[in-house]
Amino acid sequence: MPRVITHIDRADLDLVSAFADVGVATTHEAQGRTGLLHHRLTPRQQATAIAGTALTCEVPPGDNWMIHVALEQAQAGDILVVSPTSPCDDGYFGDLLATSAAARGVRGLIIDAGVRDIRTLRDMGFPVWSKAISAQGTVKETVANVQLPIVCAGQLVSPGDVIVADDDGVCVVPRASAAEVLQVARERAAAEEEKRLRYAAGELSLDLNPALRSDLLRKGLLFERQ
């Protein structure tokens, strides 16, 4: 039978929040190029980055009942992660649910389906990453799991995991490895700053990293004048 798990362990919120500055691309790289949700989840606003703890919610096709149930489980700092049990683009979430979610401290919505009232969501500043924008209404007839591990857009998300979302998409970091990944991500970001300065000055990546160039010849790449 479908279940709602009412007490789950969340990653530490200060730690979690720090991922917003690091961003999706760097986080994804820092954990060995894993955890990226499929890019069909598109940001529905620009220049917005958030990080929070996953509040997971399964929904049947065309049925948003469980989102109402999930909001009762929300804590400040959560990000609502919704996945349909079979592919669906209906408009599961609109301005009323966003109002309720924001009032309970939810930082945003990740949904492998559709949302509606998108203009109001933008005006409210409630950020959304979704597969579709669709006004198609839903019913409240069938129960499903809340706060259990789900697959969302190709990635396993467990309740309390770290969710990072920005203009590049959405990434999940398992709760247990959050501190380590953040550390690696910050080191990577620092190293990139140094490279950026040299690139901006006109240096080539092939010269910053000579192995990049010598390996080309070893692999047989030919340089010709035509």
Interface residues for a copy of itself in 18-47 (CB under 8 A)?
Answer: 24-25, 28-29, 32-34, 36, 38-39, 42, 46-47
4 touches a copy of itself (CB under 8 A) = yes
Count residues binding a copy of itself (CB under 8 A). Answer: 96
Minimum CB separation of residue 182 from a copy of itself in Å reads 16
Nearer to a copy of itself, 122 or 186 (CB): 122
Tell the smallest beta-carbon distance from residue 223 to a copy of itself (Å): 5
CA–CA distances in Å: residue 164 to residues 78, 125, 149, 177: 11, 17, 17, 14
Burial class, 4, CB count within 10 angstroms (exposed 0-12 / middle 13-18 / buried 19+): middle
8 A C-beta contact, residue 50 and residue 7: no
Q: Can you tell me the distance from the alpha carbon of 128 to that of 106, in angstroms, rounded to the nearest whole number? A: 11
Give the pairing type, strands 155-157 and 78-84.
Answer: unpaired
With respect to a copy of itself, which residue has the nearer C-beta, 16 or 117? 117
Q: What span, in angstroms and rounded, lies between the C-alpha atoms of 208 and 225? A: 25
Q: Does 95 bind a copy of itself (CB under 8 A)?
A: yes
Of residues 106-165, those binding a copy of itself (CB under 8 A): 114, 116-119, 122, 132-137, 139-143, 149, 151, 154-156
* Cα 138 → chain centroid: 24
The token pair that represents 215 in the structure block:
């390996």
Neighbours of 74 (CB within 10 A): 19
Contacting residue, 12, 15, 75, 99, with a copy of itself by CB under 8 A: 99
Under rule CB under 8 A, which residues in 51-90 are in contact with a copy of itself? Answer: 60-63, 65, 68-69, 71-72, 85-90
User: Which one of 2, 176, 183, 214 is in contact with a copy of itself (CB under 8 A)?
Assistant: 2
Strand duo 78-84 + 109-115: pairing: parallel
Q: Map residues 183-202 to x or -, x wherever contact with a copy of itself holds by CB under 8 A.
A: ---------x--xx--xxxx
Cβ 133 to a copy of itself, closest distance in Å?
6
